[in-house]
């Protein structure tokens, strides 16, 4: 399969994931960008919004390997988990 088509399909999966996340968590605070400025993936918070920054080659690879959920979708869940844990620690302290 041509690389461009594979990347388009992978990016479509990310776009659907972000849309589902925004619907389920309300407020539409997530977006994404494809960038070679990261090694693989990172979450950046800017002005109350979260941006998934994803390296396009890595994205194409994890989708082709069937690791989309564990490498990308779980990144969002980990972000929410970290926010809950740090909020609880701040409340206790």
pLDDT at 83: 84
For residue 90, give the DSSP letter.
Answer: H
The three-state secondary structure class of 33 is: strand
- How many other C-beta atoms lie within 10 A of the C-beta of residue 51? 17
Higher-pLDDT residue of 4, 70: 70
pLDDT of residue 52: 96
Provide the edge-to-edge strand list for the sheet that holds 49-54. Answer: 30-34, 49-54, 41-46
Average pLDDT of the segment spanning 54-83: 90
Q: What is the pTM of this model?
A: 0.83
* pLDDT for residue 4: 64
What's the whole-number mean pLDDT along residues 28-48?
92
pLDDT band at 6 (very low <50, low <70, confident <90, very high): confident
Select the more confidently predicted residue: 28 or 79: 79
Quote the number of domains for the chain.
Answer: 1
Start-end of H helices in 3-73: 3-25, 56-64, 68
Range of the domain at 11: 3-92
| Averaged pLDDT of the chain | 87
Q: What is the pLDDT of residue 89?
A: 65
């Amino acid at each position: 399969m041509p690389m461009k088509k594979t990347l388009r399909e992978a990016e479509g999966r990310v776009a659907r994931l972000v849309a589902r996340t925004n619907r389920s968590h309300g407020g539409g605070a997530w977006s994404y960008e494809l960038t070679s400025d990261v090694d693989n993936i990172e979450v950046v918070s800017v002005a109350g919004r979260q941006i998934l920054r994803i390296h396009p080659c890595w994205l194409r690879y994890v989708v082709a390997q069937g690791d989309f959920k564990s490498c990308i979708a779980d990144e969002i869940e980990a972000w929410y988990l970290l926010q809950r844990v740090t909020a609880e620690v701040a409340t206790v302290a």
